[in-house]
Amino acid sequence: MLTQQRTLDATYRLRRLRRTKSLRRMVQENTLSPDDFIYPLFVQEGTGRREPIGAMPGQFRLSVDLLPAEVEQLSALGVPAVLLFGIAGYKDAHASYATLRDGVVPQAIRAIKRANPEMVVITDVCVCAYTEHGHCGIVREDGYVDNDASLSILAEMALAHAEAGADIVAPSAMMDGQVQAIREKLDEAGFTETAIMAYSAKYASAFYGPFREAADSAPQFGDRRSYQMDPPNAREAVREVIADVEQGADIVMVKPGLAYLDVVRLVREAVEVPLAVYNVSGEYSMLKAAAEKGWIDERAVGLEMLMAFRRAGADLIITYLAKEAAEWLKGS
């Protein structure tokens, strides 16, 4: 057992490599780069529309014609990817708008790829923003979400995005078997190179509130606890992730991020595929609100939060802070 004297002996001084900024950089265990970021975008029909999202300062609903300038700015900052969420032109019980080949998301994919072919385009595959009821699948007469009946719609939606040029489709509905259904649909249609980023461990979280305003996707009755994960469970997340990998997921995800760093670590230890974490709207909005009050240093806290995701084991970070963080990192 080390004595107090031995602990304080110069041989055991841990502070030596913390003395200067250069020393700290040299031995830094984890790094943060714009290469790690994926920037979410909310896209809507029309032209010249840039509507601020009240609960998410600095975020907007954009019409398709404004996307090229947006992705040009992201590319200049070194951010390599965007994640698209569509605002439905109309809603019905069967999410028919979600599978349209000329819907707003396919339009957005084509516009981005024309303007910047190197930008990685990822699309959210879920019907909550396209249904009258706001749930992530088809709802039966008894009010229960029908898992198996929802799979074909999710697969068709993913195919519509792949046909438009999406690099990655990202099923987020938390329907059992959604990854397999999408993989089979894409492969049958010849889109074997289109990757799948699965929202594998997506929790029924209270942190999604601002997003539901942005995407107009709040459920009109009940909640999503019957299909999204229960927040007290961690081991179950590993089962979800392994199932998605076995079904063909190329990337897996934990959502939300900040309150689920333990889950990020468990998943990182369980699988070898790339791991994404979603720095969700509630986390973003809390940071913005506290910074606006002057209670925290937004830059310092924002970068510390993003580094926490990397330290826990995430390879990719979906974050509304991507543009600001890329700027912050340039000046660090």
Residues carrying an active site annotation: 202, 255
For 252, list phi and psi in degrees, rounded to 5: -115, 165
**H helices within 40-146, ranges in order?**
67-77, 104-115
Q: How far lies 287's CA from each of 24, 120, 281, in Å?
A: 26, 27, 10
CA-closest candidate to residue 247, choices 181, 155, 153: 181
Q: Kindly write down the DSSP assignment for every residue of 167-178, as one continuous string.
A: SEEEE-S--TTH
Distances (CA, A) of 52 to 31, 58, 62, 211, 272: 32, 7, 9, 13, 39
Query: How far is the C-alpha of 125 from the C-alpha of 206, rounded, in Å?
Result: 21
Using an 8 Å Cβ cutoff, are 43 and 67 in contact? yes
Alpha-carbon torsion, ordered 15, 18, 19, 24, to 10 deg: 160
Q: Rounded to the nearest 5°, which phi and psi values hold at 48?
A: 65, 25
Distance CA 224, CA 148 (A): 16
Given the DSSP bridges, would you call strands 60-63 and 138-139 parallel, antiparallel or unpaired? unpaired
Place of tokens 């719609």: 153
Distance, CA of 261 to CA of 131 (rounded, Å): 32
C-alpha to C-alpha distance for 151 and 145, rounded to whole angstroms: 11
- Are 203 and 256 a contacting pair, CB within 8 Å? yes
